[in-house]
Amino acid sequence: MATGAARESEWHGRAWSARRRSRCAFTLIEMLVVVVLLGVVAGLVVPRMSTNDRRLAQARVREVASLLSVVAQRHTLTNDRLTLSYDRSTAVIELLVLRTIGEDARWARPEWAGDPLVPPVRLEGVELAEALFDGGRADTRSWRLDLNPGQPRPTIELLLRTPREASPQGAWLIELLPYSASPSMTDVGAAGRSASASGLRSVDLDAQGRGDSSW
């Protein structure tokens, strides 16, 4: 009789363990539901991340355009010696002004320094693909453009692109003409990835004395 009770107890224990294992495990339908839900969530999140990346790039492009506007106004309205500089190692474009350091004229020395009222622009989410000054290409690793008072300002063209791994791709051309107070900003789209700033340059026929020419 004891043996029968032991067998019955053992059978109940095995049945209880089997029920516990079946409750802890996922069925095929439950796993499919989880996979579908994860796919839906990914479909909602990834496009939003891509949109945010593009907005970040566009914000940086607008900041560079604003910086060039300040450069144009400072060069036109002041007698300051200015330098527009870029360094790929820091990914920063900034305006430098030649200042005299030291109150005593005997020890005073000129020194380039950033303008506290004109913050530098860090190219986050976008990279400088090309820089042209009067049509001449600058070294995109590092360059300085000196702007002296009383001297004509060159045409400044900057081609900014999203990084290669970004999706969707985007490119913008910022162009500041010699006598313009603000630059033009053109969204050249993903095609700008394989284009050059000179190939995307807008042509002002009036400025070139060709206003009667057809487009």
pTM value? Answer: 0.68
Domains delineated in the chain? 54-200 (3.55.40.10)
Quick: pLDDT tens for 27-77: 767 667 666 666 655 555 444 444 577 888 999 999 999 999 999 999 999
Quick: pLDDT tens for 136-180: 999 999 999 999 998 999 999 999 999 888 777 889 999 999 999
- Which of 111, 136, 140, 110 shows the shortest CA–CA distance to 123? 140
Q: How much is the mean pLDDT over the chain? A: 77
Name which of 18-22, 70-74, 97-101 the model is least confident about.
Answer: 18-22
pLDDT of residue 215: 39
Q: Answer whether 97's CB lies under 8 Å from 112's CB.
A: yes
Which whole-number Å values give the CA distances from 30 to 19, 20, 22, 36, 97, in the listed order? 17, 17, 13, 10, 66
Would you place residue 133 in the very low, low, confident or very high pLDDT band (cuts 50, 70, 90)? very high
Looking at residues 182-193, what average pLDDT do you find?
A: 80
**What token pair was written down for 147?**
């702007």
What sign does the dihedral 53-59-60-62 (CA atoms) show? positive
Name which of 4-8, 104-108, 157-161, 194-198 the model is least confident about.
Answer: 4-8
Quick: pLDDT tens for 189-212: 765 555 566 665 554 545 444 444
Instruction: Say how many C-beta atoms besides its own lie within 10 A of residue 143's C-beta.
Output: 17
